[in-house]
Structure 1
Amino acid sequence: MHPDSRIYVAGHRGLVGSAIVRSLQRAGFTNIITATHKDCDLTEQQAVRDFMAERKPDYIFMAAARVGGILANASRPADFIRDNLAMQTNIIHEAWRSGVTKFLFLGSSCIYPKFAPQPMKEEHLLTGGLEPTNEWYAIAKIAGIKMCQAYRRQHGFDAISLMPTNLYGPGDNFDLESSHVVPALLRKFHEAKLDGAPSVTVWGSGSPRREFLHVDDMADASLHLMQHYTGEDIVNVGVGKDMTIRELAECIRDTVGYSGDITFDTSRPDGTPQKLLDTTRLTALGWTPTRTLRQGLAETYQWYLSTEDRRM
């Protein structure tokens, strides 16, 4: 990519998309294309076709997606599979059709089997059953990966696919009905601290292990791979180490400065027992993350406090 290349970041208002925009700006790229849902409804093929014809991007980062935690996936499975399939189908096809130079598709670590060997290697894809609590989202993302590979094979379209681990950071969704575990716990502990609550309840047993990557690191990895990798094989993006949800909750309690207890609601689902990515391929391509979890949580909490009145 050149400094004046036309670079379209789909989903620029979301957690990942906004971080990619920041990363591109830091790197000196000056022709960044963005569009709101009102400007271009990615679930509508004609709208995407018209947008591509008008804006003529050279490169595309596909960060647009319907995302959410266990509760959101369980309560709106049709929305998750339909919207994600529609968005990625339209944009991949129209990107190829309009002559986009290179396309980057962002998947998710939930594409891997529920009981995949740990850490999960890229070749573990489609070797077993998925975690039922987010299979609708996972199936859509798998379809996106396969579509990128199919367009590369049949049409020579330079599309690459990245599989990030669990992401968090500035711009995250803190709605308790639809958020992922890090923003949900940051908000819970913050509100418990303000209310003087004696304890905070965390869903599940606390024993599942998860890996967490700051979204700005993810964005930097995306930019690095867009510039330095081409190929059909997917690439895991993570930190290469994990922790239990209990350990995460304790770390977030320290970050917020809450002094109460942590209880676990074992009637709630745990999800996949462990999700740790093997990042050997990523490291060989010349990229490693820069932030520790404690640094990232502190940044995210300060962003959360700064976005609106938090009853401080």
Structure 2
Amino acid sequence: MSEPDTSVRGSAALLGPAEVRTLAERFGVRPTKQLGQNFVHDGNTVRRIVAAAGVGRADTVLEVGPGLGSLTLALLDVVDSVVAVEIDPVLARHLPVTVADRAPELADRLRVVEADALRVAAADLPAVPTALVANLPYNVAVPVLLHLLAELPSLMTSLVMVQAEVADRLAAEPGGRVYGVPSVKAGFFGTVRRAGAVGTQVFWPVPRVESGLVRVERYAEPPWPTDEEHRRRVFAVVDAAFAQRRKTLRAALAGWAGSAPEAERRLIAAGIAPTARGETLDTAAYVRLAAQA
């Protein structure tokens, strides 16, 4: 990731509440719960998201679910390349038009890919992204984030807006009440922390839940192998451990290991007490345990 551009360019005319509703009406867009569509209409909020992302001119930013373009316009003010992945064909078709209308001098910095972010591959993108900045669809936020982190090792930093409860889970520490599968799996790729809160009134339509910002900094030097085969082995152990959260790991991992005694043997070999529970282990412990398979 390049150094952030601290200058305020302000070339783009950002979208406000009236503009968001006008564009939606013009394009015949009705926000759907199925696609998790809640459009941000507050300029200060999108500016804050871009600032929290810490992206600079040389970054190529991947944005998922750009919608009507609120965050897109703010990003184009700061970086020289934005690749927007949008599943809705109507929104994908109109986003370049909106940018050309509101920030014509920035329009050539945007490339739109009509695709499902859960299935998009590196080969589908016209450029290699260095950062992910997105208001993720809340119904698939964690799967999308984990897929992109796995598929795009070039993403050195990610700043995503998700449901506040999900943000808490992603950034949770071992032993906490909300620590679980998302926490461990996100921690496989890098350090994860909360980066702020976002209220409901900056969206249209107004969601019923609060939102939160999560920042993931990929490990500059990964502490373990990150290839697909190794990741799958580690994630299989994580899934098994939390499938029966209230049980000890000796019991919860019996199916994964083939039997409870074999699970105990592997746990001891990895330096983990068989009586421990899944929520007490950090990502490194799961990596050690996967190595015993």
What TM-score do you get using the length of structure 1 for normalisation?
0.35
Q: Which has the larger radius of gyration?
A: 2
Bigger RCO of structures 1 and 2 (CA < 8 A, at least 6 apart): 1
What TM-score do you get using the length of structure 2 for normalisation?
0.37
